[in-house]
């Protein structure tokens, strides 16, 4: 059920073309701060409801990051493992044409699950305006997701959280659930900060080595074989086990709703940095808070991607973009954790309060 409240959603659009087998969704949640910003995801299961939930997260994320963007999201239902690259591009172009009257004026696309710089290039070609999507290739004047802004921001948020709990980042044990764009760069940057990556999962399973994996080697294994489970030096578990292995910092970086009231008691980490959108349910957030586990909310920790979109919009270079991601994510993570401590509310509730205050201030 899609909920309507005083923020939105302003527009819900579903497009269908039986000839092309295109089934797409666009939700413009709120445009108080500017055109709605949010990624285009391609998965076999995406629904209008899922897109609406994610669009709302984008409204909060942009408000919290003090960006001149509203919240939106779009999706195409397709199984990219079963169609060719050209068929996928055709779906993107058809979708871009069908929502052209709203983009870039009210909606600006970006990469998400199943899309990257090449897909954004196709979206722009069909739309006709370079302003209709961010995350485009460098040669088109873009700052592609492939630079790793979100994973970089996750590492920065994790660093702030460790400082907050006075845990040294050097040697801190990290478990990362999902080894795509977010997970890989989070691993790379946390490794650079001296953390020990002890567990990593992807859709094939989990690799665990309590003494730490070599991230560079793991990246190569993933690229060559398609799965982290082929990394020779460690124990292999099922994908879901990653959340319950011993670690200091747990980063769910793949799917939503993976930590729930039902399984949260098995989580052993001291810090959770939410890389994916909505990976921890509200009920689980409450339980974690009562147990003293610090959970940095998704729309605080994973804002690097949309901050990079803003940097691209402003014509920044990659160095300026990384500086902006670091500045905003560090500032907001500190603000949220301090507010949570002071007001004795979950970090999620604290972040929501700040985002809503920023939205209301603009409304006046």
Q: Which of 62, 67, 126, 182 binds ligand NAD (CB under 6 A)?
A: 182
Stretch 108-127: interaction string toward ligand NAD, x if CB under 6 A: ----xxx-------------
Q: Is 202 in the site for ligand NAD (CB under 6 A)?
A: yes
The residues that are catalytic are: 73
Residue carrying structure tokens 């919290």: 64
Stretch 205-244: interaction string toward ligand NAD, x if CB under 6 A: ----------------------------------x-----
The window from 89-97, 164-172, 201-209, 288-296 that contacts ligand NAD (CB under 6 A) reads: 201-209
**Who contacts 338 (Cβ-Cβ below 8 Å, separation ≥6)?**
none
Rounded to an integer, what distance in angstroms lies between the CA atom of residue 95 and that of residue 355?
Answer: 31
Q: Which of 58, 161, 253, 337 binds ligand NAD (CB under 6 A)?
A: 253
For the chain, report the end-to-end CA distance as a whole number of angstroms: 30
Local structure of residue 32 (DSSP, 8 states):
S
Q: Is 203 in the site for ligand NAD (CB under 6 A)?
A: yes
Q: Which is nearer to ligand NAD, 6 or 223 (CB)?
A: 223
Rounded to an integer, what distance in angstroms lies between the CA atom of residue 340 and that of residue 346?
Answer: 6
Q: Is 274 in the site for ligand NAD (CB under 6 A)?
A: no
Q: Do residues 142 and 135 lie in contact, with contact meaning Cβ atoms separated by under 8 Å?
A: yes
Q: Give the residue ranges of DSSP H helices in the chain.
A: 48-64, 85-98, 117-127, 149-165, 181-192, 215-225, 282-291, 298-301, 304-313, 318-343, 347-363
In the three-class reduction of DSSP (H, G, I as helix; E, B as strand; rest coil), residue 33 is classed as coil
Q: Is 144 in the site for ligand NAD (CB under 6 A)?
A: no
Q: Is 254 in the site for ligand NAD (CB under 6 A)?
A: yes
* Paired strand residues for 25: 14, 75
Q: Is 180 in the site for ligand NAD (CB under 6 A)?
A: yes
* Paired strand residues for 11: 28
Q: Which is nearer to ligand NAD, 167 or 219 (CB)?
A: 219
Given the rule CB under 6 A, which residues bind ligand NAD? Answer: 112-114, 145, 150, 177-183, 201-203, 239, 253-255, 275-277, 302, 305
């Amino acid at each position: 059920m899609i909920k309507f409240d005083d923020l939105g959603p302003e527009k819900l659009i579903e497009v269908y073309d039986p000839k092309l087998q295109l089934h797409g969704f666009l939700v413009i949640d709120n445009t108080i701060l500017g055109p709605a910003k949010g990624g285009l995801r391609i998965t076999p299961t995406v629904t209008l409801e899922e897109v609406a939930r994610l669009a709302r997260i984008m409204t909060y994320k942009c408000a919290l990051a003090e960006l001149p963007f509203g919240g939106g999201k779009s999706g195409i239902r397709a199984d990219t493992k079963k169609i060719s690259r050209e068929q996928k591009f055709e779906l993107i172009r058809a979708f871009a044409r069908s929502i052209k009257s709203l983009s870039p004026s009210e909606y600006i696309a970006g990469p998400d699950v199943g899309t990257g710089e090449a897909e954004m290039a196709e979206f722009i070609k069909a739309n006709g305006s370079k302003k209709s999507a961010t995350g485009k290739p460098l040669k088109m004047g873009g700052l592609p997701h492939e630079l790793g802004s979100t994973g970089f921001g996750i590492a920065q948020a994790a660093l702030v959280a460790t400082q907050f709990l006075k845990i040294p980042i050097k040697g801190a044990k990290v478990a990362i659930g999902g080894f795509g764009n977010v997970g890989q760069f989070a691993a790379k940057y946390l490794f650079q900060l001296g953390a020990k990556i002890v567990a990593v999962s992807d859709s094939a399973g989990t690799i665990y080595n309590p003494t730490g994996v070599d991230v560079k080697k793991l990246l190569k294994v993933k690229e060559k074989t398609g799965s982290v489970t082929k990394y020779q030096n460690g124990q292999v578990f099922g994908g879901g086990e990653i959340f319950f292995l011993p670690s200091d910092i747990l980063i769910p970086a793949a799917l939503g709703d993976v930590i729930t009231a039902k399984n949260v008691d098995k989580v052993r980490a001291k810090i959770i940095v939410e890389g994916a959108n909505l990976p921890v349910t509200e009920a689980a957030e409450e339980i974690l808070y009562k147990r003293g586990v610090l959970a940095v909310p998704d729309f605080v920790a994973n804002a690097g991607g949309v901050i990079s979109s803003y940097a691209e919009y402003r014509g920044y270079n990659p160095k300026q973009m990384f500086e902006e991601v670091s500045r905003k994510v560090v500032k907001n993570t500190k603000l949220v954790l301090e507010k949570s401590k002071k007001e004795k509310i979950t970090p999620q509730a604290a972040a929501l309060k700040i985002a809503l205050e920023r939205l209301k201030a603009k409304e006046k």
